[in-house]
Amino acid sequence: MKKNPRKAPQPGRAVLILAGLALAALCLAPWWPAVPAGAFSFGDAGKLLDVGKSALKVGKAVGKASEELTPEHEYYIGRAVAASLLTSHRPWADENANRYLNLLGQTLAAASERPQTFGGYHFLVLDSPDINAFGCPGGLILVSRGLLQCCQNEDQVAAVLAHEIGHVSLQHGLASIQQSRVLDVAGVLAQEGAQHAGGNVAALSGAFSGSVGDITKTLMVNGYSRGQEGEADAEAAAILRRVGYDPQALAQVLAVMGQRYRPGGLDFAKTHPDPQDRIAALREKIGSSAAAAAPSPARQARYQQALGRI
Amino acid sequence: MRRGKSPLAAGLVLLAAGLAWAAGQAMSVQVREGQLRAQPSFLSAIVATLGYGERVQVSGEQGAWRQVTSGQGASGWMHLSSLTPKQVVLQAGEGLATGGASGEEMALAGKGFNKEVEADFAARNRGADFASVNRMEQSHRFTPAQLEAFVREGGLTPAEGGGR
């Protein structure tokens, strides 16, 4: 080996060059179009390209809302969903409570998968004894007094907000829009681009009110899927951990909600899985620490000051 | 060790080339108020606000942050979630006339669901409470200093999220 360093075996060099190429490729990766994980396997390299191509085609034909709609579209959908929800749920006009909720919520949103949306994250207390919260597309988040009454400290309020931020950042609302509406919008947009035409309100108004209706119905009647609730809980735990809150706070609020859970009730019981099931799923991700850490005195003081009389 | 040096260097050159290629990318602001910050942190001062669709040149990165320079010459850091590799065309036809970009490469600003479509929806749904939504969006906006104070007083960690 020491005899002739110049004639060292070449494979090592090739491996290093390949490694360099791989590293360079990795650096470029964020700019490549995202292909859904698990869309194809790496087992059959010969078919890889074709499968990838058809996966893209299918994705396009199906018209996935999060791909066809821009953050600007998402923003207008979210505004109309919130405006619709606010017909039956009135805002709670306590500036102090709403200010606190926004400081807390915006701190959490910065630590989410998607910190910046078109219009930003905004939070509002609803004057309702029901136990409920709504994360509208784009980041308008409504939380009832009834749900805040299930919380005993800032960490638990943070857990509630982080769960809703999870639904927003993972775009669960958009996913509940019927695909035919998304295709309608994509069609109108393609036409507008091609014709250099102005706005086409008439062609879009049906797709818009339909989309808003799909999401409002999901939020108020049908609920998200069990899988989506699990994803939002997992994202909430991740956000809490990043910011320095106790992820166990989410399990604690769920336990209180479980005590107040009335199967067949019209609030979260109608739209969410049984809290006990969610706690069980959450435990697999965050474990179960026996004793909750004592809340910091400063956190507890500001929580009491803002939400003590909620 | 010496033997490995030159292939490794070749690899590093490729890596650097990759980085340079990536860093040279142009991106567009995909949010209403694109916050350009002094440092890659949400608690850092906002040095300029870039409008929707404004084009920036990427010159560096740190996690989900991109170091950018705007067309006006303002430079700083923007979070990846506020940027898109697409070209955002502010007027229909503009991109097609100039660059011939395809639908996957560009987005039409103000087209599709927009202010006019919302107004139409509001007219058909008189009960929809857009006044409360507007109040919600306009109140309780905080400076980085206010958010930093909230984080510090609560004994929290200034955390950064991903770049979806």
pLDDT in tens, A224-265: 999 999 999 999 999 999 999 999 999 999 999 988 877 777
pLDDT at B4 over 70: no
**Considering CB atoms only, which of A24, A205, A296 is closest to B154?**
A296
A21: which chain B residues are within 8 Å (Cβ-Cβ)? 11, 14
Contact B14 A188 (CB under 8 A): no
* Parallel, antiparallel or unpaired: strands B87-89 and B55-62: unpaired
Average pLDDT on B30-54 reads 96
> pLDDT band at B98, cuts 50/70/90?
very low
B95: which chain A residues are within 8 Å (Cβ-Cβ)? 193
* B8/chain A closest Cα distance in angstroms: 6
Instruction: Please name the residues between 234 and 293 in chain A that touch chain B, using a CB distance below 8 Å.
Output: 239, 242-245
Contact A113 B117 (CB under 8 A): no
Of all residues in chain A, the one with the smallest CA distance to B115 is A76
pLDDT at B88 over 80: yes
CB B129 within 8 A of CB A86: yes
> pLDDT band at A85, cuts 50/70/90?
very high
Rounded to whole angstroms, the Cα distance separating A36 from A247 reads: 28
pLDDT at A143 over 70: yes
Q: Where are the beta strands (DSSP E) in A5-94?
A: none
B120: which chain A residues are within 8 Å (Cβ-Cβ)? 201, 205, 208
* Parallel, antiparallel or unpaired: strands B75-79 and B65-70: antiparallel
B59: Cβ–Cβ under 8 A, 6 or more apart, which residues?
B23, B24, B67, B68, B69, B75
B53: which chain A residues are within 8 Å (Cβ-Cβ)? none
**Considering CB atoms only, which of B18, B136, B160 is closest to A27?**
B18
Of all residues in chain A, the one with the smallest CA distance to B129 is A83
Q: By percentage, how much of chain A surpasses pLDDT 90?
A: 56
Supply the pLDDT for residue B99.
45
A61: which chain B residues are within 8 Å (Cβ-Cβ)? none
Tokens representing residue B120 in the block: 């139409």
* ipTM for the predicted complex: 0.82
More confident residue, A31 or A183: A183
Using the Cβ of A69 and the Cβ atoms of chain B, whether some distance falls under 8 Å is answered with: yes
More confident residue, A28 or B20: B20
pTM for the whole structure: 0.79
> pLDDT band at A29, cuts 50/70/90?
very low
Average pLDDT on A284-295 reads 69
Task: Report CA B120 to chain centroid distance, whole Å.
Answer: 29
CB–CB contacts below 8 A, A to B = 257
Rounded to whole angstroms, the Cα distance separating A115 from A109 reads: 5
Computed over every residue of chain B, the mean pLDDT equals 84
* A66/chain B closest Cα distance in angstroms: 11
**Considering CB atoms only, which of A20, A73, A86 is closest to B129?**
A86
The conformation of residue A91, written as its DSSP 8-state character, comes to B
* A50/chain B closest Cα distance in angstroms: 19
A106: which chain B residues are within 8 Å (Cβ-Cβ)? 142, 147
Which of A108-112, A143-147, B91-95, B148-152 is least confident? Answer: B91-95
More confident residue, B109 or A48: B109
Rounded to whole angstroms, the Cα distance separating B113 from A93 reads: 30
A23: Cβ–Cβ under 8 A, 6 or more apart, which residues?
B11, B14, B15, B18
pLDDT in tens, A31-84: 333 333 333 333 333 333 333 333 333 344 457 888 889 999 999 999 999 999
Determine which of B130, B156, B157, B160 to mutate to test the interface with A (most A C-beta atoms within 10 Å): B156
Of all residues in chain B, the one with the smallest CA distance to A98 is B140
Q: Which of A157, A161, A281, A179 is nearest to A231 (CA)?
A: A281
Tokens representing residue A245 in the block: 């809150």
Supply the pLDDT for residue A224.
92
| Residue B49, strand partner residues | B35
> If 0-12 CB within 10 Å is exposed, 13-18 middle and 19+ buried, where does residue A57 land?
exposed
Average pLDDT on A1-27 reads 46
Supply the pLDDT for residue A191.
80
Using the Cβ of A185 and the Cβ atoms of chain B, whether some distance falls under 8 Å is answered with: yes
A86: which chain B residues are within 8 Å (Cβ-Cβ)? 128-129, 132-133
CB A70 within 8 A of CB B53: no
Supply the pLDDT for residue A265.
72
Computed over every residue of chain A, the mean pLDDT equals 81
Scan for tokens 């735990």, then name that residue.
A237
pLDDT in tens, B50-66: 999 999 999 999 999 99
CB A159 within 8 A of CB A249: yes
B4: which chain A residues are within 8 Å (Cβ-Cβ)? 12, 16
Average pLDDT on A153-170 reads 97
Supply the pLDDT for residue B63.
94
CB A167 within 8 A of CB A228: yes
More confident residue, B108 or B86: B86
Average pLDDT on A267-280 reads 84
Contact B128 A83 (CB under 8 A): yes
Determine which of A72, A95, A155 to mutate to test the interface with B (most B C-beta atoms within 10 Å): A72
Average pLDDT on A258-284 reads 82
Of all residues in chain B, the one with the smallest CA distance to A117 is B31
